Amino acid sequence: MSVVKVDLNQKIILKHLMTLFLHDLSEFNEVQEFNQESGLFEFDVFEWFFEKDGLIPYFIKHEDNIIFTHRSLSTPWSAR
C-alpha cells in the first residue's frame, strides 16, 4: 500500500472520485444537490486543491490501484 500525491495529470481522476464521494454523501446531506446541467455532484472549490497552499490531495494505492482518496489540510484550512 502507498500514499501518493495527486499529480496535475491525475486531476480528472480525482474529480470523478470526488463526484462519486459527494453522491454517496448526498444520502446523509439534504442540502447536497447535483448540477442540473451536468447531472453530477460537484465540489465547488475543487480547483483549490491545485491552487492553494495547504490543500493537498492524495491517492491511497494498493498494488498500483487507487483504493481511496485523502485530502490533507494544513493552516489556514485546518482547525488548528
Give one DSSP letter per residue of the chain, joined into a string: -EEEEPPGGGHHHHHHHHHHHHHHHTTT-TT----TTT-----TTTTHHHHSTTEEEEEEEETTEEEEEEEEE-TTSS--
Predicted pLDDT at 79? 61
Average of pLDDT values for 21-37? 82
Average of pLDDT values for 54-70? 88
Given a cut of 70, is residue 80 above it in pLDDT? no
Predicted pLDDT at 60? 92
Q: Is the pTM of this model over 0.75?
A: yes
* Chain mean pLDDT for the chain: 84
Given a cut of 80, is residue 77 above it in pLDDT? no
